[in-house]
Amino acid sequence: MTTTAAPRPTTRPQRESFRLVLRSEWTKFRTIRGWLIGLGVAVVLCTTFTFLVANGTHEGTCTGTGSTCRSGHPYVATGPDGEAAADSYQFVERPLTGDATITARVRSLTGVTSTNQTSVAPSLAHTRPGLAAWAKAGILLRPSTKQGSPYAAVMVTGAHGVRFQYDYTHDRAGRSGPVSDTAPRWLRLTRTGATLTGYDSVNGTAWTRIGTAHLAGLPATVHVGLFVTSPVSFDRAGSGFATRATATFDHVTQGAWHEQSIGARDFYPKLPGGGYHRVGSSYVLSGSGDIAPAVVEGLLSTGTPSSTLVLGIVVGLVVITVIATMFITVEYRRGLIRTTFAATPLRHRVLAAKAVVIGAAAFVIGTLAAAVAVPLGEHLLEANGDYVFPVGTPTVARVIAGAGALVALTAVAVLAVGTIVRKSAGAVTAGIVVFVLPYVIGSSLSGAAERWLFRLTPAAGFSVLGTLPRSAQVAYPYTMANGYYPLSWWAGLAVLCGYAALALGIAAVTLHRRDA
């Protein structure tokens, strides 16, 4: 008598069986016409609410020169990389042709701060002594005095030491410490072709290189000179106050210098009284404004490519919540779940397959809705005269894909809630309360309560819609009232992922322990 060993099981049938389960769940989903219609309704509602929000916004801010702004609002510069730029300062300059080295010593840097908030017209009659931390004074070179054009500058600051900065977003630290009569700072900027290099020194003899910039396309003749500017200062409550800085330069090459007030009529709040005069061999400049990334959204009264999308996403999430919960609760209500589990005894595979199906469908719908709504909202804002904060293509793509991920993760999470609760009404209510309501509540709050809701609840996932930049060069209250989520987009999405994973884990354990 001979015996034959039974063949060893392989992992192949398991993989194939999951594909069969996945195909089965997809067939269930697509054969329910109401669910497919619901997905279409989610897209339509998201787009419609985006249209209503954008069409109802009329700030009247615009870009371009003052003469082309149809509502006459101030100009917002666009930097060489397409970013919004604050570009306003007092400038004493002259043309420079060819390579050269420009040297100056900053002997003092002082300032005053308005006692009226930026919502009130700044006046020198209401000021107090106070130097802004990012007040700047130094040597600046640029091909044109047009706002937003490239530049390189070596400078002293109110509280950040010597810096070498260029093209608004690039910053290199030099020697630390404040400027005073007993501790002046020597600055040097050299040009070699299109390459600019900044140096500093304490005695004008031993120089330390801070950084180098390459300004592509720099013409033979450029503008070079001394500049001073001073940005808005914010208190702990987030209120802004215009400031003005005054710097004294000496050891400056004599010549025909021309004074210019760059950005005198742009968006940036300024204290009056900027100017230039000479005291013997010294040059005294006073100025207000900033030359840095324009992150001050609250001062600009702007929209963003995603700002009109949020309400539409919230409404769309309610629809997706209903569909995702019914994807499992309908089977419980009709008793079909027993048939499903009889065909697939490993219940976690059924849950995983349903999660993949609803997650994929929700991602496609969320991405499609955002792809339509984002350009629509931006177009309507611009048509209404609103200034739309410039955002690069990669950021827009991230917002669109992120909106899809936000919807998909929420759908997977509420599917798990439906698995746990099993009743459609209870599951829909629980899904909305846990995954949608925190955003609604958080948006109506302010301060610490608002920040913690958007850090610790599923509302953190909405961070993926944030597009406004942050900059270490700009001291600004990056609060939700000014358009900034408390978490980065990836961290907020990670919080939502955690909730979805937790809900799925509880659902899997629940499925395993109880009867169908």
Give all domains of the chain, ordered by start, each with its CATH number. Answer: 15-58+301-513 (no CATH), 77-293 (2.60.120)
Residue 68 confidence (pLDDT): 30
Q: Where are the alpha helices (DSSP H) in 335-478?
A: 336-343, 347-383, 393-421, 424-435, 437-443, 447-456
Contact status, residue 279 vs residue 285, Cβ threshold 8 Å: no
Residue 64 confidence (pLDDT): 39
Residue 389 confidence (pLDDT): 82
DSSP string over 288-336: -SEEEE---HHHHT-B-TTTTTHHHHHHHHHHHHHHHHHHHHHHHHHTH
- Find the helix or strand (DSSP H, E) in which 164 lies: strand 162-166
For 200-231, the pLDDT digits (tens) are: 999 999 999 999 999 999 999 999 999 999 99
Q: Which residues of the chain have pLDDT under 50?
A: 1-2, 6, 10-13, 60-73
Residue 65 confidence (pLDDT): 34
Torsion of CA 74, 79, 83, 89, to 10 degrees: -50
> What burial class does residue 300 get, using C-beta atoms within 10 Å of its C-beta: 0-12 exposed, 13-18 middle, 19+ buried?
buried
Residues 6+ apart with CB under 8 A from 238: 477, 479, 481, 482
pTM (predicted TM-score): 0.83
Residue 35 confidence (pLDDT): 93
Residue 122 confidence (pLDDT): 66
Give the C-alpha separation, 135 to 133, whole Å: 6
- Find the helix or strand (DSSP H, E) in which 90 lies: strand 84-97
Tokens of 261: 């007030």
Cα–Cα distances in Å, from 482 out to 117, 300, 304? 16, 10, 12
Residue 13 confidence (pLDDT): 47
> Among 195, 194, 193, 176, which residue's Cα sits nearest to residue 185?
176
For 466-482, the pLDDT digits (tens) are: 988 889 999 888 888 88
